[in-house]
Amino acid sequence: MTAVAISEPGGPMVLKPEERPVPKPGQGEILIKVKAAGVNRPDVAQRKGIYPPPPGASDLPGLEAAGEVAAIGPGVRRWRLGDQVTALTPGGAYAEYCLVHETNALPIPQGFTFTEAAALPETFFTVWHNVFERGALKPGETLLVHGGSSGIGTTAIQLGTAFGAAVIATAGSAEKCEACLKLGARRAINYRAEDFVLAVKEATEGRGADVILDMVGGDYIERNYAAAAMDGRIVQIAVLGGASAKTDFSKLMVKRLTHTGSTLRPRSIEFKAHIAAELEARVWPLLATRKIAPVMDTIFPLREAWRAHERMEESVHIGKIVLDVA
């Protein structure tokens, strides 16, 4: 099969097509004939050599794939040959075939193309767990989403809104802010032009945000504490702006804040299966009626995965970048 591998740590051009043997499904696994694969910021980190695959995962990049079931391992119960699925993978989706545990795959929502379906798993699993489970967002609360125009951000705005929260988003340009508003955000803050702490306070009549989904870290940590409401929950999913910070922790006590975080990729198959089941029950019906849908930015052919990474690193995209593997 043709796959795109990371030939050495480095820039986008280290992503090179190569021939690999088609993997064989083990116990409980299905082999997907990949039609499309989503591109995520963690793939960029893996390419740079700062986010190695967890033990046992493919060395190929790619955390999500949509396609058809092409082979079935022993013990597989749910899927049959030819079924159309979209799946969260621990790696290996930048390829014509990819293995996944059957419980980490979901049916393609009705009416979705393969490229749309491939844009779902990584951000929907991440947002569901971090916003609704760790952050315990409730209807009527305010959710602040940093990086509102990112793959993660566009999903968080839509899910937060669909489940009854008032969403405020930050983004780095007027165009990105406009996109956040179209997705349902009540207020979008261009962080290059406005102080998000003041803007959040203003938008919430001084209360602050109940849940903050943050991928920036660095000096945002202290500012998130300032923008949070009493009993607020701050969920860290990345530290794009820096992994260390000098922070006054007194606000943590005074406001009774919870600061938590997680990374999805190294979690167990069983944990991911639990999120898959939650998503299928509570979110897939919203996708089937298009109440929510992935925001599609650009589609590149698999062999040109380097162009997809280049675009992601330019940070001009809004929503998801996807590879066409057909």
Ligand X SMILES: NC(=O)c1ccc[n+]([C@@H]2O[C@H](COP(=O)([O-])OP(=O)(O)OC[C@H]3O[C@@H](n4cnc5c(N)ncnc54)[C@H](OP(=O)(O)O)[C@@H]3O)[C@@H](O)[C@H]2O)c1
Q: How far is the CB of 150 from ligand X (least distance, A)?
A: 3
| Residue closer to ligand X, measured from CB, 264 or 287 | 264
Shortest distance (Å) from residue 156 CB to ligand X: 9
Distance CA(147)–CA(2), nearest Å, equals: 33
- Residue with smaller CB distance to ligand X, 72 or 221: 221
For ligand X, the closer of residues 16 and 311 by Cβ is 311
Interacting residue with ligand X among 171, 203, 229, 325 (CB under 6 A): 171
CB closest to ligand X, residue no: 172
Residues within window 217-256 making contact with ligand X, judged by CB under 6 A: 237-238, 240-241
In order of 101, 131, 202, 312, the CA distances from 138 in angstroms are 31, 10, 21, 32
Q: How far is CA 301 from CA 35, 73, 76, 107, 307, in A?
A: 10, 29, 31, 23, 9
- Burial label for 110, CB within 10 Å (0-12, 13-18, 19+), is exposed
Q: Quick check: 87 binds ligand X (CB under 6 A)?
A: no
Least distance in Å: CB of 153 to ligand X? 6
- Contact 130/262 with Cβ under 8 angstroms? yes
315 binding ligand X? (CB under 6 A): yes
Among positions 128-167, residues that touch ligand X (CB under 6 A) are 147, 149-152
- φ/ψ of 325, rounded to 5, equals -110, -5
Minimum gap (Å) between residue 207 Cβ and ligand X = 24
- Residue whose C-alpha is closest to residue 134's, from 250, 240, 216, 214: 214
Q: What residues make contact with ligand X under the rule CB under 6 A?
A: 40-42, 122, 126, 147, 149-152, 171-173, 176, 215-216, 237-238, 240-241, 262-264, 312, 315
